[in-house]
Amino acid sequence: MNDRTCIVTRKAGEADDLIRFVTGPDGQVVPDLKRELPGRGCWVTPERWAVDKAVAKGLFSRAFKQKVEAPADLGQMVDMLLVRQLAGMINMAIKAGEFVTGSAKVDLAIRSGAALAVFHAAEAAPDGVRKLDQARTAFMHLSEADAPIPSLRPFEEGEISSLLHENAFKHAAVLAGKAGEGVVKRAITLQRYRLEPGTEGKAAMTNT
């Protein structure tokens, strides 16, 4: 098994497409999302069911070839870290002018082709989502793109206001730039992580 093979699915992947785990001095399994912690690591597909299965089946001890302790709530711990990481990147994108909120600004970003992706809060009104979906579809046809600008809902209800406070939004558009690209990447990872078991092969982006 190479260094970047998921210990659950046994499928190899790039570092960016997996979650790295290491063991701390106390023998506890620790998620290393930034892949910076020292020591030998193991890798897991970035989906909640895979982390939970690794804990339940004792796969971390097998991967590290020694007895290690994987907390029962490790899956939830990873979820929390992914959420905080995304929220932090959104705040960076806002400061960089690469994240705009409000229906009017989002609509303009879509129709001008400036939007890399569109975000909706879980509690966003269906009518508002529908209008922006229409803008995405219109831009796709006018630009002759193969698919609409991706639409993402990575956060659960109530998370945006509790994490972003004054930067909370119902609708947002991510614009081109280093921070904006980081937001999209992390949002796709979080949305994939939260897929229900059995849907791990689904695309992380919704285009309808």
pTM of model > 0.85? yes
Most distant CA pair in the chain, distance: 58
pLDDT of residue 196: 76
Spatial CB neighbours of 112, under 8 Å, sequence gap ≥ 6 = none
Token pair in block for residue 128: 């508002």
pLDDT(130) > 60: yes
Give domain limits for the chain. Answer: 15-72, 76-193
pLDDT digits (tens, 9 = 90+) for 158-199: 999 999 999 999 999 999 999 999 999 999 999 999 987 755
Residue percentage of the chain with pLDDT more than 70 = 93
Architecture, CATH, for domain 76-193? 2-Layer Sandwich (3.30)
Which residues, in sequence order, are CB contacts of 198 under 8 Å at separation 6+? Answer: none
Q: What is the pLDDT of residues 82-96, one digit of tens each?
A: 999 999 999 999 999
**Is it true that domain 15-72 has CATH number 3.20.20.140?**
no
